[in-house]
Amino acid sequence: MHRKLHLNTRKNFAVRVTTRWNRLGLLSILRKLKSTPDQEVRILLLGLDNAGKTTLLKQLASEDISHITPTQGFNIKSVQSQGFKLNVWDIGGQRKIRPYWRNYFENTDILIYVIDSADRKRFEETGQELAELLDEEKLSGVPVLIFANKQDLLTAAPASEIAEGLNLHTIRDRVWQIQSCSALSGEGVQDGMNWVCKNVSTKKK
């Protein structure tokens, strides 16, 4: 009798757990369906190696950021935001990979360029790479968001200083924005993505 009761209790517990799991699984599916995108957006995520691009991408996709390895090729993730399905292409930033960036320029709606704000020795190098991207014919007129990343570090230069050093105020052929952020904590990331959604909607109309 006791043994039968014990088995029934375990069975009821298993049913409760399964029901809860199904409900949670269904909720996540419903959320995805509810935010069916109106249009797809192609975002190119570039920057020097170690700027924090992959961490930023994982932060956007709400993924674990405790183990990040350098991107040797590229990562692609789809993120839904404000009625858009953002297809983000994260291309490796090592010097040997940068010549291949141009293979991904076609049909880009938004360029996101990530800078390590604490790596002052490479400001000149990152500025040069950004200037070359802005001169590319296939990226002509494409809105650009510059993430001044790693603001959680004490040695980080403020976004205003980076903007001045890179002469961003001379950009006249497109809309642009520089946004302070920490890909690690997520601070400032959503503000930048709000700008992306706002400006892609004006570009696509």
> Which residues are annotated as part of the binding site for Mg(2+)?
54, 71
Cα–Cα distance measured from residue 80 to residue 87, given in angstroms and rounded to the nearest whole number: 9
Longest alpha-carbon distance in the chain: 84
Residue with tokens 């400006």, as numbered in its chain: 199
Nearest Cα residue to 126 out of 171, 165, 180: 165
Is 39 known to be catalytic?
no
CA-only gyration radius of the chain, Å: 22
Cα–Cα distance measured from residue 185 to residue 3, given in angstroms and rounded to the nearest whole number: 51
Which segments are annotated as binding site for GTP? Answer: 47-54, 93, 149-152
DSSP 95-144: TTTGGGGGGG-TT-SEEEEEEETT-GGGHHHHHHHHHHHHH-GGGTT--E
Q: Annotated catalytic residue: which of 59, 82, 94, 128?
A: 94
Pairing of strands 84-91, 176-180: unpaired
> What six digits make up the tokens of 35?
């935010």
Which segments are annotated as binding site? Answer: 47-54, 71, 93, 149-152
Q: Which active-site residues does the annotation give?
A: 94
